[in-house]
Structure formats: C-alpha cells, structure tokens
Amino acid sequence: MKNQSMKICMFAILTFVLVWFLQHEGVNATRGMQQRGGSRLLKETFYPRYGETFPNALPYRKTSTIFNVLSFGAKGDGTSDDTKAFEGAWLAACKLEASTMVVPKGSVFLIKPISFSGPNCESNIVFQLDGTIIAPKRSGSWESGLLQWLEFTKLNGITIRGSGVIDGQGSGWWSESSGTKPTALRFYGSSDVTVTGITIQNSQQTHLKFDNCQSVQVFGVTVSSPGDSPNTDGIHLQNSQDVTIHSTKLACGDDCVSIQTGCSGVNIQNVDCGPGHGISIGSLGKDNTRACVSNITVRDTKIHDTMTGVRIKTWQVINS
C-alpha cells in the first residue's frame, strides 16, 4: 500500500469482551463496597474462589531466609528516612535464592525513590509487605524528571505480597499541570512477577506499571486514589507478555488498566473498575509509530463511575 495511512496494527484482538453487571445484586454490591465497613462484602464479591485463606494468608516459605528492614536500621516512624535500611535489606535478600525481605506490620516507612535492582540478584525473591510505605511529599527533595518512586528491575521471579500499603502521597503532584511525575511502583525487564494482597494508593501518577515484563500475575490488589486525580492510571502495561490481572479493585483518576504497545496475552478477569476512565488499549501510534497489541481478554468485569467502558485509543497520522 502506497499510502500507509494506518501505521497502527492491532491484529488478533481475539476477545475483548465486557460483561456488565447491571442486575440488582451487582449494583448493590458495588454500592456496599464504597461504604466504610464494606470489606466483608468486597471479599465475598471478589474472591469467591479462594475462600477464607485468600489473599493474605499465604504462609511464609518455611525454608526462606528472612531479612526484616527493622534489623537493618529502619525506624518505621513515618518521618525518619528509612531508604538506607531498605537498600541494606534488599542487598542481603538479593544474594540468596528465594529469600524474603520483610516490611513488618504496624510501622510506617518513609522511603525516597529507590531501585530494587536485580541484574546480580538470585531468583524468586519475596518482598513481604505488611506495613506501610510512604513517599516524601511533593517538594524540592524530589529530583526532577524521575520516572518512578519504587522500582524493581531485571529480576527473575519477584513477588510482592502481604496486607501492606504503598502510599505515594501524591496530592501535591496532582495540581501541577506539566512535568514528569513518578509512577509509584514500576517493574522493568523482569519475568515471573507476582503482586498480590497489597494496596497502592494516592500515586503521584500511574500506580503500578509493568514494562518489558513476562509472566505477570496481579491478584487481590487494591488501587485507590480519587476519581479527579489526574493521570493516575491504575495498572499500565507496556511491552509485556503473558499478563493476568484478576480479583482486583481499581479506583483511580485515569485508566483502570492501560494496555500499550508490545503487549500480548493479557487476561483481565473479575476486576472492579471505578471511578476511573475504564479499561483502555492505547493510546497507540504516537508520532506515526507502529504499535501492536494482541490477544487481550477482558471478562467478568464491573465498570462503574467511569468516563468510558472499554476502548481502543489511537493517535491520528500526521502527514508531513
């Protein structure tokens, strides 16, 4: 074709199915979840297949060596900078296969931008998050142009699990109209990635991002930020394959899930989306680039209080 006006290729989108739950039960359940004390209802609504043990009762591996951040000097008082202690615990955990780094319950850890970097790490490390991790509030202490706050890179087998909270304290960023804002939790170049049980809230921008990852599982996760917080995508996928997101509640100010170029084999199931902008493929094809996304399935999903439901967003071709 001489005129390659469509440089965007979206082939083999095998299933892109949305099941609306408009019957009375579903609507009532959704309302119930928004109320305080609705967690029991949430559990019944979202984790029916896992009974009472799901999602946070997964036992520690008996054989796993444990590295507790408190043993590495973390204060956990919400005001001391615990970044160094986290770095120390990570370096120790990373040297042993299937070790566990523990962020214990009952403490609040203030952590500056940090990379849990893996090219020289052993595989199958568990990050057991039962406490709360908070970001520094927006101020001069942030370097400009930072792409993420918490980063896990180049790991083979990485699990974040537990009942803990990651809080970006992002409100100070939301009023800024321009400039790069960090993603709260980003995985890059990793395989066999699991995120389960935790809550990610009030991100500066995107809550949870996977870039260049293979075999990703997200379940029993809660994303929570106000519906009017700008660009706070729930989960952002890019160049990632074999991704399953299920039994997860995504409330945010932008796309609940955003699926970008290079993604294939994405399975989204039993997700509650709203408020937010729905579930989106794209935007694809910026600046006349070629973009491919394939084999995306969305099913058994509740979408409510959103700008749109499911959609594909593309950039228009610019003729020069």
Ligand X SMILES: *[C@@H]1O[C@H](CO)[C@@H](O)[C@H](O)[C@H]1NC(C)=O
Catalytic residue ranges:
254, 277
Smallest distance from ligand X to CB 237, Å: 12
- Pick out residues in 78-107 that bind ligand X (CB under 6 A): none
Question: 171 vs 295, which CB is nearer to ligand X?
Answer: 295
Candidate list 171, 217, 295, 314; residue touching ligand X; CB under 6 A? 295
Nearest residue to 236 via CA among 202, 206, 278, 199: 206
Candidate list 267, 269, 283, 288; residue touching ligand X; CB under 6 A? 267
Question: 81 vs 242, which CB is nearer to ligand X?
Answer: 242
Smallest distance from ligand X to CB 217, Å: 11
Give strand pairing partners of 302.
272
Nearest residue to 275 via CA among 298, 301, 254, 299: 254
- The yes or no reply on residue 262 touching ligand X (CB under 6 A) is no
Candidate list 226, 265, 288, 311; residue touching ligand X; CB under 6 A? 265
Smallest distance from ligand X to CB 248, Å: 15
Question: 38 vs 265, which CB is nearer to ligand X?
Answer: 265
What track of x and - describes contact with ligand X for positions 183 through 202 (by CB under 6 A)?
Answer: --------------------
Residue type, 136: P
Smallest distance from ligand X to CB 279, Å: 15
Whether residue 240 contacts residue 259, with contact meaning beta carbons closer than 8 Å, is answered with no
Smallest distance from ligand X to CB 295, Å: 4
Question: 65 vs 267, which CB is nearer to ligand X?
Answer: 267
Question: 283 vs 297, which CB is nearer to ligand X?
Answer: 297
In the complex, which residues of this chain contact ligand X (CB under 6 A)? 265, 267, 295, 297
